[in-house]
Amino acid sequence: MSDNSYDVIVVGLGGMGSAAAYHLARRGIRVLGLEKFTPAHDKGSSHGGSRIIRQSYFEDPAYVPLLLRAYELWEELAGNTGLEVYRLTGGLFMGAADSLTVAGSLRASQEWSLPHEMLTAGDVRRRFPTLTPADGNVALFEAKAGFARPEMTVQAHLDLAAREGAELRFGEEVQSWQDGPTGVRVTTANGTYTAGQLVICPGAWAPALLTDLGIPITIERQVLYWFQPDGGTAPFVDHPIFISEDPAGMQIYGFPAIDGPDGGVKVAFFRKGQVCTPETIDRTVHQQEISEMQERATQLLPALTGPAVHTATCMYSNTPDEHFVITRPQGFTNVTVACGFSGHGFKFVPVVGEVLADLAVTGDTSHPIGLFDPRRLVTA
């Protein structure tokens, strides 16, 4: 075996790729991981300090079995590293009773017998006085919701993968890849590598790296905001995550104050972005955007009147139906792809890593991933 030959090459070491590298390496697979940027970088989608985790999944109840396994793996990752990669804070999913956020969460909770409470707007205001939902709105409260720390999670998976023997190379951009009858060939500026299998986790670089697969992916710029509350962050430290939907269907979401007294409270719009590419994304957050976010946020959290102490941009990689793509593409013998996580994928990182290891090693998985077959996106 040459020095440039491996069992599996993983392209992209963000959330999904780092987890795949770890789950492969822990099985004794000889893994090469290739990443364009530095470890746990802030150029893609796996950054921003926090990501919501939840089980009452309004997007589709079909996700719940994967979430139940993901939660087991979140706990395992925390135990293996001694790091607080996730925290359960409880979560409120608010809006009109027939809104997607509420009705969808309730449907998933009922279908999978997930513990939950239904609260009126008055209930929410009494139990969580930082929040002022509109009269007539309701909320589903899920005690097992919370947040994960994306940079910490990516670094933890990378460290564990390296500990298990994976070779991880950073600052090495993939220029091309080819699949053949006996394996794959991956070319970077530094050289060419071969392997039996290839796992591609391209994030926002999917349109460039997956041109031959015909998977429709649109990249969108998204903005994250941290506002300093009037009176300080203390009331927001022991606080649930939340998602709130307005009558127009626009969702905002937010987190506890986890960055200290001067770190503010993180809030953002969900799916309010502009189409971009990784090369053209505007990394500047403009005052008009900050003002618009603060105006909407203070309708629900009146204390968020202080300055924006921090802002950041990230990218969503959206499929047309906003469900994931996880597949062994037709016509490719030795390739597994995970992409199009559409802004709600990070909570699945540990289980997607397990799924990708299954697919690369055996060609199949016991996990239910039928929803993520890209053939659903092909129009006649």
Question: Of 7-11, 268-272, 348-352, where does mean pLDDT reach its minimum?
Answer: 268-272
Q: Is the pLDDT of residue 2 over 60?
A: no
pLDDT band at 281 (very low <50, low <70, confident <90, very high): very high
Which pLDDT score is estimated for 380?
37
Q: Do domains 5-46+151-216+321-376 and 88-145+218-318 have the same CATH topology?
A: no
323-373 residue pLDDT tens: 999 999 999 999 999 999 999 999 999 999 999 999 999 999 999 999 999
* Nearest to 94, CA basis, from 62, 64, 127, 46: 127
User: What residues does each domain of the chain span?
Assistant: 5-46+151-216+321-376, 88-145+218-318
CA-to-CA distance for 225 and 265, rounded, in angstroms?
8
Q: How many CB atoms lie within 10 A of CB 138?
A: 21
Q: Is the pLDDT of residue 379 over 70?
A: no
Which pLDDT score is estimated for 1?
43
**Rounded mean pLDDT, 135-157:** 98
Residue 265, classified by CB atoms within 10 Å of its CB into exposed (0-12), middle (13-18) or buried (19+), is buried
What is the average pLDDT score of the chain?
A: 96
**Rounded mean pLDDT, 133-150:** 98
Q: Is the pLDDT of residue 290 over 70?
A: yes
Q: How far is CA 202 from CA 10, 16, 45, in A?
A: 10, 9, 10
CA-to-CA distance for 222 and 265, rounded, in angstroms?
17
**Rounded mean pLDDT, 4-22:** 97
**What is the DSSP secondary structure assignment for residue 171, as one 8-state letter?**
S
179-208 residue pLDDT tens: 999 999 999 999 999 999 999 999 999 999
CATH topology of domain 88-145+218-318: D-Amino Acid Oxidase; Chain A, domain 2 (3.30.9)
Helix boundaries (H) for the chain: 15-25, 64-81, 105-111, 121-127, 150-163, 206-209, 234-237, 287-300, 349-362
- Residue carrying the six token digits 């597949």: 327
52-83 residue pLDDT tens: 999 999 999 999 999 999 999 999 999 999 99
45-56 residue pLDDT tens: 999 999 999 999
Q: Residue type at 221?
A: R
Domain 5-46+151-216+321-376 has CATH 1.10.1060.10: no
